[in-house]
Structure 1
Amino acid sequence: MTDGLRWQELFRGADASLLTKENYWDGRDPAPLQQRFLAPTAGERRAKLMPFFWSLFAKEGVVFGDQDAGSTASVTNGFNFSYPGYSETLTGHGDPRIDSNDNKPNPNRTVLEWLNTQPRLHNSVAAFGAWEVISGVVNARRCGFTVNTSYAPLQLSPSTPVLDAINLQKQYAPHVWDDESFDAPTFFTALEYLRVKRPHVLFLSLGETDDWAHGKNYGEYLLSANRVDTYLETLWTTLQAMPQYRDNTAILFTTDHGRGATGDGWTSHGQKLPESKNIFIAVMAPGLPARGVLTQVPAVTQSQIAATMSRFLGQDWNAAEKQAGKPLPLWP
């Protein structure tokens, strides 16, 4: 997941009306970014912004949420901001008690916690987040699996030189946001854990796309989205290089909420911006028909992701959590 990435940028690419001096580092010249990300058509722009996603992921997978093509994906929690969105994603339902971004333990059991109790998957689940509140979303106090967020070092025994270097970077690098690290240390911590521990289930939440948007910095928002695409490619390449994962792994790529669609609304989201309920959901998995971007299909919701995750693992989250949405319509 990458926090607050709009469906508009994923499917249309960079918006020329937003890529201006006013929306970039105190009036810095946006010309280099304009040259890098702008193009005459939406197809060209989105390929420039997220080249791996459009060259492989979208072609080999199934993508919901392109409203220009008659496909809608949305949250159901009614709040349209982060904690409720992450909770809905991982539980399969909204909860009116989760009405803030305070770092409180989630009273709901997530599909991750439940999967960790299944015999074949026990001690083979992990969650990583750039935002420290992810620890509350998955209820790190209770869940029973590895959780690592924000600037916290990941302690493994034995450790590795790569992990030691990342932990030092987390400790000494500038902390721009008090409760959230940059995406790179979070991603590479998760990647090193994957290489060493080889879990069945890995949850990863990145955050810069949301932070830079709230900071009204469209240039950095685009650069962050572009880096997310690089992380997706790195993850895919790593999985394909490891025999146990090669051609045997499902990847789900989504976001916790959308953003406003017009004017300065792109910087924010929430109940006052109802269009910020709109998201995207992309899935790539072995054996799944490559349908690409879906057109003119019934709407889907964030609440269907948890059951979809469990189904890929041969588990039935709907039997364990009656409120959860049904799996996405990926199978006949």
Structure 2
Amino acid sequence: MKVFPKKLLVLFTILGAFAAVIPLRAQSATQPANPTHEHVFLIMTDGLRWQEVFRGADASLLTKANNDNQPIDTLVRQYVRSSPQQARAALMPFLWGHIVPEGEIYGNRDTGSDAHVTNGRNFSYPGYSETLVGYADPRINSNDPVPNPNVTVFEWLNKQPGLAGKTASFGAWSVIADAFNRQRCGFTDNAGYEPLTSIPMTPRLDLLNHLKAETPRVWADETFDAPTFYTAVEYIEAKHPRLFYLSLGETDDWAHAGNYGRYLEATNRVDMYLRRLWEMAQADPEYRDHTTLILLTDHGRGEAPVEWKSHGQKIPDSKYIFIAAMGPGIPHNGEVAGGTPVTQSQIAATVAKLVGKDWNKQTPAAGQPLPGIQVVH
């Protein structure tokens, strides 16, 4: 998918001061989504294993061989705990402290919950396309930057009454622009190192555009997550999209590089970004109580001690993923154990249902919405 250096060349940080700290709001019971007011934030982080999501850090991988000049003792203190429940909460505190209790999560294979991709390829572009269109397309068989021939649910929704002009996507990986087919989709589709120019320029946005252009690049086709995230924040504050997509990539990059410490840090930052998005939503009257947050990954990875670095058809277990959601219309099932398997192909119809549209009628090949989604009719 990308170019992976053997050693860390640069460490890039955007100051967290860009986001305000707002008290979180909790819902005591499942409230149906009101399609005329609902907003959907779909977040994907590339190649994050279900194992870390549900078990937390794997202490056996916190060795010098799996890290690049990082303080192992510090990583152990930060992420290693005596139980999987404590370890996963240390790694992703917002996911386990707010999203799961107030929503649901699928994919813990230790408790019999099955979430997987259906494309059979178990790598990035096929996973993104399956998520966005609702079915696996055999023509999407590489990570080459080829415009998606399929209409995504976001492109279709952007043309529906009340939703036109209310859609945007952001991705750290440049190919995300192709997954949405920028030439055709009709909305802001910002990816990779591109500057954002579709909203009025602000000092912060100007700085972000310059940082993306001028910071030394570790990966030729992908930025660090921070500039992508904060660029997306600028857009949300300016345009208040109803349908928002964000793809982050460092979880995959550092895993491919065999750098487990950086992989854990990237995972922890993803959780921090989720919290900040939710805080933004709860601080804004337009978004408050009318925003659903969905989190998943494009593919899984293999097992430790070696195959955790990789994924693909030769690693069958890399088809297993996780899916988490919180917001109006999302059942309060918490951590789902056992039950019917869920798939990546169900996300597109879920997004459409939350805003009152039927993606399955438009695209019969797509998977059905996730079970139990409640909307006002």
TM range (shorter): over 0.9
Aligned match of 1:36:
78
Identity %: 56
The alpha-carbon deviation at position 287 of structure 1 amounts to: 4.2
Q: Which has the higher helix share?
A: 1
Aligned match of 1:12:
55
Aligned match of 1:2:
45
Aligned match of 2:290:
248
Structure 2 counterparts to residues 9-158 of structure 1, below 5 A: 9-25=52-68, 28-158=70-200
Aligned match of 2:253:
211
Q: Secondary structure at the match of 2:45?
A: coil
The alpha-carbon deviation at position 158 of structure 1 amounts to: 2.3
**Is the 8 Å Cα contact of residues 130 and 344 (structure 2) preserved in structure 1?**
yes
The alpha-carbon deviation at position 157 of structure 1 amounts to: 4.5
- 2:268 is aligned, of 221, 226, 231, to 226
Q: Secondary structure at the match of 2:60?
A: coil
- Cα displacement string for residues 84-115 of structure 1 (whole angstroms, at most 9, x for unaligned residues): 00000000000111110000000111001101
The residue type equivalent to 2:270 in the other structure is: V
Q: Structure 1: which 5+ runs fail to align? A: none
The residue type equivalent to 1:109 in the other structure is: V
| Greater RCO (CA < 8 Å, at least 6 residues apart) | 2
Task: Give the Cα separation in 1 of the matches to 2:200 and 2:348.
Answer: 32
The alpha-carbon deviation at position 259 of structure 1 amounts to: 0.1
**Root-mean-square deviation over aligned CA pairs:** 1.0
The residue type equivalent to 1:19 in the other structure is: L
The residue type equivalent to 1:205 in the other structure is: S
Aligned match of 1:272:
314
Task: Give the Cα separation in 2 of the matches to 1:165 and 1:225.
Answer: 25
- Cα displacement string for residues 124-172 of structure 1 (whole angstroms, at most 9, x for unaligned residues): 1001000000011000011111010011000034212221111111111
**Is the 8 Å Cα contact of residues 21 and 29 (structure 1) preserved in structure 2?**
no
Q: TM-score, normalised by structure 2?
A: 0.86
Task: Give the Cα separation in 2 of the matches to 1:217 and 1:296.
Answer: 32
Task: Give the Cα separation in 2 of the matches to 1:157 and 1:293.
Answer: 39
- Cα displacement string for residues 22-63 of structure 1 (whole angstroms, at most 9, x for unaligned residues): 10005x441110111001100010010001111111110111
Paired residues, number: 331
Aligned match of 1:167:
209
**Is the 8 Å Cα contact of residues 79 and 91 (structure 2) preserved in structure 1?**
yes
The residue type equivalent to 1:8 in the other structure is: Q
